[in-house]
Amino acid sequence: MDTNANAIENRVFYPSEEVVKNANATPELYEEAKKDRLGFWDRMAKELVTWFEPYDKVLDDSNPPFYKWFTNGKLNVSYNCVDRHAKSEKRNKAAICYESEIGKKVVLTYGQLYREVNMFASALSKLGVKKGDRVCLYMPMIPEAAIAMLACTRIGAPHSIVFGGFSSDSLRDRINDAKAKLVITADGNFRRGTPFPLKKNADEALKETPTVEKVVVVKNAGNEVEMVEGRDVWYHDIMATADTYYEPEKMDAEDMLFILYTSGSTGKPKGVVHTTGGYLVQTQATLKYVFDLKETDVYWCTADIGWITGHSYVVYAPLALGMTTFMYDGTIDYPDKDRMWDMAERWGVNVFYTAPTAIRTFMKWGTEYPKKHDLSQIRLLGTVGEPINPEAWMWYYENIGGGRCPIMDTWWQTETGAFMITPLPITPLKPGTATVPFPGIEVDVVDENKQPTDRGYLVVKSPWPSMLRTIYGDDQRYIDQYWKRFGDYYFAGDGAKRDEMGYIWVTGRVDDVLNVSGHRLGTAEIESALVECAEVAEAAVIGKKHDVKGESVCAFVILKDGFEGTPELVEKLRKHVGVKIGPIARPDDIIFTAALPKTRSGKIMRRLLRDIAEGRALGDITTLADPGAMQEIAAKYAGKE
Ligand code: 6R9
């Protein structure tokens, strides 16, 4: 076939001497954590966090699965993210660099950010927000979003961020579940050059949210909005009369920091609860040692703040470490397909973190776009969100990393709060695996009976500092969802393999595992095989009910520009999957399509593809990035049958 993916997967990429010499991490970290796991986290907590009052215990595991970390320690997240830097030699260092789609640029130093955060905390407090009140953010990727997050943490009011692309129904449900008292939004933001009416969507949701008393609106896109008398206030108006200092609340390590709803597969959205101390320790420790940030770096994580990656690795960890974090609000191909590389060059980005789905999109567009720009200042790359297929890894490595940058494939979840399985820059890499657990993290691959195996379920064997503490308002669901299956092991919901080097290969959600004639197949494995073919840009595989086999393999395939979905190509793809994984994995159906249904965080919604393949009516598609794509696929499939 076109490429030999097995050869790529088994290839080991050793870190250069230069990388090893300069890395924040050393092999001793693993040894230290192995000898004394809690001692390691104790050291991290002492080195990375400024505590108002010391904790008395690293881990309280007396009431599993309700674990507590750094008990009775007192701290404030905004103090750690701004005050301590603003009062140091970092005062005039860039904290946040920002560019909007239409080219507006902002740089906020730590000194400036300190002032803004204090003022907004003061303004929120004057609007009646107190410690413990929930505040909902429905905002674009603008500096005010980070300021709002930090202002909430200063008061001790947990935030619940709802991704700005979500529908008003999703927003309403999340506001009501959290019983939010105040909502922060913006007039709008630009998407492909046109303003997207955030405030209008929020107004729709706010018709049915009895707990909301006030709405703060940031003027961003300049589009017309309606301000509701007595309820809505402009951000710039309340900032004009705010005090320049607001005393940071002394929060307990186990006080709630935020709620974040996961894109639930079925039922009510799950409000994942994170707390203050452990979260701040593990997000910083992982960013410091995995992404190897240095004082002079510009670091860019492309995630939206509406997702956990945006919380932990755009805002909290980089700012707590006193680094420079870059934010972009806009589409990745506006005005052209080199927008990301253009910004990376202009802002001098050194460390770049994105998702495989974006990398495959860049791949599809071709190498001429990154080639237009000087990316030689990039030192390290990262990926997150789904298993990365070795082809995409290689493309990223060669075309963005210039063959010199290690790629940190970080496995973690909304629930884990921070990286769990990830290489360090000193780790030999293999394309497609997140390699080994971070120091102080204990994971395993087990079978149905909780016995270690080389192919099975991914579990976390012991509590970790940034773990979720519960599902908001539903302790039972927390127990049922994560702790029922394997008792004292946390069940991540992912399947995994372990190779001869002990590296862990996450194969995808277990609910995405197919059972074809009694053989277990990961959707990600088949997709990876398909995208190895030169013609294929992206693929999504689902299991379709089958009378004899139980399930049959059904693949939805996007071709690269210039290729056609001929019957010959169908045969070629089927054959390749057969060769790569085994005849059992050969798709019965291959449907060529121009788009795939994805959540706005870029995850393929296989449930919807299954509905199409099995001839069911399309259910709720409001959380899709592009609902129109569904209609198109459905029509195409109907035409085929
Ligand atoms: C951070 C984030 C979590 C799920 C997770 C897994 C998949 C994330 C991955 C990965 C393989 C990686 N996932 N990173 N799979 N390799 N490096 O994405 O959180 O949105 O909660 O998704 O994403 O299936 O269980 P979240």
Dump pLDDT digits (tens) for 83-108.
999 999 999 999 999 999 999 999 99
Provide the 3-class DSSP secondary structure of residue 491.
Answer: strand
Query: Is a pLDDT exceeding 80 seen at residue 550?
Result: no
Nearest CA to ligand 1 atom 1: 413
Q: Is the interface score ipTM higher than 0.95?
A: yes
Q: Is 419 in the pocket of ligand 1 (CB under 6 A)?
A: no
Which two three-digit tokens encode residue 214? 């006030």
Q: How many angstroms is it from 603 CA to the middle of ligand 1?
A: 9
| pLDDT grade for 166, boundaries at 50, 70 and 90 | confident
Dump pLDDT digits (tens) for 598-629.
877 777 888 788 888 888 766 666 666 666 77
DSSP state, residue 445:
E
Q: Which domains, ranges and CATH numbers included, belong to the chain? A: 17-473+491-497 (3.40.50.12780), 517-639 (3.30.300.30)
Which residues in 284-378 belong to E strands, given as ranges?
Answer: 298-301, 324-329, 351-354
| pLDDT grade for 546, boundaries at 50, 70 and 90 | confident
CA distances from 169 to 172, 204, 273, 282, 302 (A): 5, 8, 21, 33, 26
Per-residue model confidence (pLDDT) at position 267: 43
Q: Is 386 in the pocket of ligand 1 (CB under 6 A)?
A: yes
- Choose between 546 and 107: higher pLDDT: 107
User: Do 250 and 52 touch, CB atoms closer than 8 A?
Assistant: yes
Q: Is 492 in the pocket of ligand 1 (CB under 6 A)?
A: yes
d(CA 258, CA 472): 10
Per-residue model confidence (pLDDT) at position 347: 98
Count the Cβ atoms, other than its own, within 10 Å of residue 88: 11
| Whole-number percent of the chain with pLDDT over 90 | 76
SS (H, E, C) 239-282: HHCCCCCCCCCCEECCCEEEEEEECCCCCCCEEEEEECHHHHHH
Query: Is a pLDDT exceeding 50 seen at residue 266?
Result: no
Q: To the nearest whole number, what is the mean pLDDT of the chain?
A: 92
| pLDDT grade for 3, boundaries at 50, 70 and 90 | very low
Per-residue model confidence (pLDDT) at position 639: 59
Nearest CA to ligand 1 atom 23: 385
Alpha helices (runs of H) in 49-93, residue ranges in sequence order = 77-78, 84-86
Dump pLDDT digits (tens) for 470-499.
999 999 999 998 999 999 999 988 899 999
Dump pLDDT digits (tens) for 105-144.
999 999 999 999 999 999 999 999 999 999 999 999 999 9
d(CA 456, CA 470): 25
CA distances from 412 to 77, 327, 434 (A): 22, 21, 10
Mean pLDDT (whole number) for 553-574: 94
Query: Is a pLDDT exceeding 70 seen at residue 5?
Result: no
Residue of 555, 563, 611 whose CA lies nearest to 587: 555
Mean pLDDT (whole number) for 53-75: 98
| Whole-number percent of the chain with pLDDT over 70 | 94
d(CA 333, CA 23): 33
Mean pLDDT (whole number) for 407-411: 98
| pLDDT grade for 1, boundaries at 50, 70 and 90 | very low
Which two three-digit tokens encode residue 29? 């970290």
Q: Is 384 in the pocket of ligand 1 (CB under 6 A)?
A: yes
Query: Tokens 């755009």 map to which residue?
Result: 314
Mean pLDDT (whole number) for 237-246: 98
**How big is the chain by its Cα radius of gyration, in Å?**
24
Q: Is 599 in the pocket of ligand 1 (CB under 6 A)?
A: no
Q: What is the reported pTM?
A: 0.86
Per-residue model confidence (pLDDT) at position 175: 97
d(CA 363, CA 107): 31
CA distances from 364 to 148, 567, 594 (A): 37, 22, 12
Q: How many angstroms is it from 412 CA to the middle of ligand 1?
A: 5
User: Do 270 and 481 touch, CB atoms closer than 8 A?
Assistant: yes
Helix 37-48 / helix 28-35 crossing angle, nearest 10 deg:
120
Query: Is a pLDDT exceeding 60 seen at residue 265?
Result: no
Mean pLDDT (whole number) for 203-214: 97
Provide the 3-class DSSP secondary structure of residue 298.
Answer: strand
Q: How many angstroms is it from 286 CA to the middle of ligand 1?
A: 16
Mean pLDDT (whole number) for 453-480: 96
